[in-house]
């Protein structure tokens, strides 16, 4: 198991249900991100993200946003519910026009499994991830 495959779809949304989405496979990657921004945004050691092209996401409702500067100097925008605060996805100055869906926002998070761990340079000592997964000090290289 890993990401979504061609022709597979998944649904998700925020905690209160005000925002819903449909996601079409295939996913580009599924990673556990240990960067400091994800730690601050989630309040934990890492977040699991699903990389997809923007065109693969169909939203119902309009998320609130928060934009800051990422570690590469480009902008990073987090899209979340303005009512309950549930994080849905991240976009920004990312190569290849991809966005990163919060795996925990899927209705069935067991549809996916992490394939790698990124930003291990920022990993906290008390957080654990599967040591068998490929690990990258920063963003995983893309084909």
Express each pLDDT in 9-48 by its tens digit. Answer: 999 999 999 999 999 999 999 999 999 999 999 999 999 9
Residue 143 pLDDT > 70: no
What is the pLDDT, as a whole number, of residue 87? Answer: 96
- Cβ atoms within 10 Å of 19's Cβ, excluding its own: 24
Q: Which domains does the chain have, with CATH numbers?
A: 9-122 (3.90.1590.10)
Express each pLDDT in 41-84 by its tens digit. Answer: 999 999 999 999 999 999 999 999 999 887 777 888 999 999 99
73 Cβ contact list (under 8 Å, min separation 6): none
Express each pLDDT in 92-118 by its tens digit. Answer: 876 667 899 999 999 999 999 999 999
Burial status of residue 99 (CB atoms within 10 A of its CB: 0-12, 13-18, 19 or more): buried
Given a contact cutoff of 8 angstroms between Cβ atoms, the answer to whether 38 and 46 are in contact is yes
Give 140's pLDDT tier (boundaries 50, 70, 90): confident
């Amino acid at each position: 198991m890993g990401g979504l495959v061609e022709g597979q779809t998944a649904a998700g949304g925020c905690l209160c249900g005000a925002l819903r989405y449909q996601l079409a496979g295939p996913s580009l990657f599924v990673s556990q991100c240990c960067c400091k921004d994800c730690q601050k945004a989630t309040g934990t050691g890492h977040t699991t993200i699903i990389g997809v092209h923007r065109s693969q996401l169909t939203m119902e409702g309009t998320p609130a946003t928060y934009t800051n500067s990422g570690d590469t100097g480009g902008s990073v925008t987090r899209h979340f519910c303005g009512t309950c605060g549930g994080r849905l996805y991240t976009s920004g100055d990312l190569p290849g026009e991809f966005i990163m869906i919060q795996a925990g926002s899927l209705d069935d998070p067991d549809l996916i499994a992490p394939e790698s761990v990124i930003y291990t340079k920022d990993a906290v000592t008390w957080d654990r991830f599967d040591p068998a997964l490929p690990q990258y000090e920063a963003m995983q290289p893309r084909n």
